[in-house]
Amino acid sequence: MLDVQDITVAYSSNAEPTIEGFHLEMKPGEICSIVGESGSGKTTVIRSILGLLPSGGKVTKGDILFEGESLLQYSKKQWRELRGTQISMIFQDSGAMINPIRKIGSQYVEYIRAHKNISKKDAFDMAVEMLEKMRLPDGKRIMESYPFELSGGMCQRVGIAMAMTFQPKLLLADEPTSALDVTTQAQIVRQMMELRDDFGTGVIVVTHNIGVAAYMADKLLVMRQGKVVDSGQREDILHNPQSEYTKNLLASVPALKGERYV
């Protein structure tokens, strides 16, 4: 489904690359976690896949293929058609992504109608149904709420609902649990894993928490200073890490009564 072919990303022609030689292959319905410390290039990877690098950022080497087509060759029109339908994104703080002075409903309906030619009423009903699928009780009340009237966990579920509206083939999640308390984190993580079961969606999760990464992923990539230092199936990385950095990350996970819960 996705083939990221040894990409290098730089923010100017004379600057050191932010990412160098990043490679990833994903099958439909696979969950991949990219883990590493802040500044390791994790978010730059998923922004590259969605064509959303900040001003000056550019893929200078390699290619990104989605279902056999090069995303780097896409026009603005093709990107508009792809984003939100075939590939969607959940942000670190979905509450900050949503306009604070507009109700959830008006924004959600506008989002749906930008991609689908239906009436406002049908779009409203579609949004309510999706919110309730994401375990938000009383979807109509959520639609009538402002973002600041919802908790962090509820805002994150709204972000997931919006991202999943058109049942994308690939979901990019940029540290989707880091702004939440531990209990809500667990609920959101389980819900994202259910997306694969319910919709067959492939997921790339960016996180600095190797415990969350290991719990969710089929495949793990560990990044440091813009390069992949370890990659492979989850069990291989957990039980036979190749780099010292990965070994240190695993050793940093708290132990309880001598057992380490990764």
Q: So what CATH class is 2-101+146-260?
A: alpha beta
The residue whose two tokens read 């087509």 is 69
Residue-level pLDDT at 257: 65
Where does residue 48 rank: exposed (0-12), middle (13-18), buried (19+ CB within 10 A)? buried
Residue-level pLDDT at 185: 77
Cα separation, 160 vs 195, whole angstroms: 10
Residue-level pLDDT at 44: 92
Domain ranges of the chain: 2-101+146-260
The token pair at 7 is 């990409």
CB 244 within 8 A of CB 224: no
The token pair at 108 is 């959600």
Q: What pTM did the predictor assign?
A: 0.87
For every residue of 81-141, DSSP letters joined together read: HHBTTTEEEE-S-HHHHS-TTS-HHHHHHHHHHHHS---HHHHHHHHHHHHHHTT-S-HHH
Residue-level pLDDT at 256: 66
Q: Please count the CA atoms within 13 angstroms of the CA of 233 that sit on its side-chain side.
A: 3
Which secondary-structure segment (H or E) carries 58? strand 58-66
State the 10-residue block means of pLDDT for the chain, 262 residues long: 95 85 94 90 92 89 95 93 92 80 95 93 95 88 94 87 91 82 79 84 88 86 93 90 88 70 58
